[in-house]
Amino acid sequence: MEEKIFDPNAAAALGSGIYGLPCSAEEAEIIIIPVEWELTTSYNRGTVNGPQAVFDGSMQVDLHHHDYPEVWKRGIWMDEFPQELRELHDELVPLSEDIIDGIESGDVDENPEAYEDKYVAIENGFDKMFAWLKDRIAYWKSQGKKVGLLGGDHSIPLPYHTYFNELGEEYGIIHVDAHSDLRIEFEGFKYSHASIFYNTMKYDNIEKLVQVAIRDYCDQEKEIINNSEGRMVVFYDRDNRRKMYEGATWKSICDDIIAQLPNKVYISIDIDGLDPKLCPNTGTPVPGGMEYEEMMYLLNRVKESGKEIIGFDLCEVSPGEDEWDGNVGARVLYHLCGII
C-alpha cells in the first residue's frame, strides 16, 4: 500500500491531530495538555470547553507561520484530559454554582456552615486534578518534550509551578492578563482563578512575576504588589497606553518589560489580556488590552532576547456561538509553540 505523504498546503484531514498535523505523541516535540476545568468562574462560564474550541479553530490555521515557518515540522500533539476528571468537574459544577449564588444572595455570610462541605468537595476535586496534571507534566518532560497547558480557567497552571518548585528550578513569569490574579482565596475558593499568582508566588524559586496589560485589580492585590519588594512588577495597560500616547514606542516598553525578567522564563497568558473584541466570550472581559500584533511582538521580543522559555499556558478561551474565540486562541497557541 502506498504511503501517504503529508501535504502542509492542504486542508486539515478528518481525524488529524491539532493543526491538522499527522504526528504521534512520540514524534512530536511539543505536547499540549488540555485542562477542561473551571469551578470558580463567577461571571461568564464556558472556558471548560476552551481546549476543544482551540482544537477546532486550529484546523483553520495555515501551517506556514510568518515568524517560525517550520514550527509544524517539529510536531505538535494534543494530549487528552481524562474522562474521569471531566466527569468529576461536571459533578462539582452545581456545588460551585450554589456557593456563588449563596455569595451573591448573602446566604454564605449568614449560614457559612451550610457551605463548608461544598467548599471541601471542590478543594478535594482540585487536589485530584492537580495531582494528575503535575504527574502528566513530569511524564512528558521526562520524555524530553516541551510542554504547554491549554485551559480551562486560569487556576490550572499551579501544578506546573509546583513541578518546577520540586525541581528547584529558578525562573521568572511573564503574565499577560486583564487581571492581577493575586486575590487571597477569592470568594472562599483556595484555588480560585483569581488567586493563581497569589498561590504561585508562595514558591521561593520564582524570582520575578512581571505582569502586562493589567487593568482590573483590587486594593488587596495592589498592596501585595507594593509589598513584594520588587519581586512583582506590573506594566499596567493604562500606563503603557499613556506612554505610547506621549511618544514612547511599543518596542521601548517591551524592552523595559523584558529587562525585568531573569534568564529562564515561563509564559502565562489569559486570553483576556487581549482587547475583548478578540475574545468576546472570555469569562471576565475588560475594556482595553493588547492588540493581537502587540502580543505577538512582545512574545517575539522575549524569544529574541535570548531568554530560555521553559513552559507556557494559555487560559480562559471560551467558545461563543461562532468560532471566533477558538480561532484567535488557536493562533495565540501556535505562536507560543513557535517561540518555545
Structural domain count of the chain: 1
Per-residue confidence at 42, pLDDT binned at 50, 70, 90?
A: confident
**What does the block give as the cell for 213?**
496589560
| pLDDT on residue 315 | 98
**Does any domain span residue 194?**
yes
Dist. CA 50–CA 150, nearest whole Å: 8
Dist. CA 297–CA 202, nearest whole Å: 30
**Does any domain span residue 65?**
yes
pTM: 0.96
| pLDDT on residue 310 | 98
pLDDT in tens, 237-296: 999 999 999 999 999 999 999 999 999 999 999 999 999 999 999 989 999 999 999 999
**Does any domain span residue 81?**
yes
| pLDDT on residue 43 | 77
Mapped onto helix, strand or coil, the DSSP state of residue 146 is strand
**Does any domain span residue 231?**
yes
pLDDT in tens, 162-182: 999 999 999 999 999 999 999
**Does any domain span residue 8?**
no
**Does any domain span residue 7?**
no
Q: Flag whether pLDDT at 72 surpasses 60.
A: yes
Q: Which domain holds residue 167?
A: 18-336
| pLDDT on residue 14 | 83
**What does the block give as the cell for 180?**
492581577
**What does the block give as the cell for 104?**
451573591
**Does any domain span residue 11?**
no
The CATH number of whichever domain residue 92 belongs to comes to 3.40.800.10
Per-residue confidence at 4, pLDDT binned at 50, 70, 90?
A: low
Bridge partners (DSSP) of residue 236 are 214
**Does any domain span residue 46?**
yes
Q: 205 near 169, Cβ under 8 Å?
A: yes
pLDDT in tens, 316-336: 999 999 999 999 999 999 999
Residue keyed to cell 505536547: 31
| pLDDT on residue 1 | 31
The mean predicted confidence, pLDDT, of the chain is 96
Q: Flag whether pLDDT at 41 surpasses 90.
A: no
Mapped onto helix, strand or coil, the DSSP state of residue 14 is coil
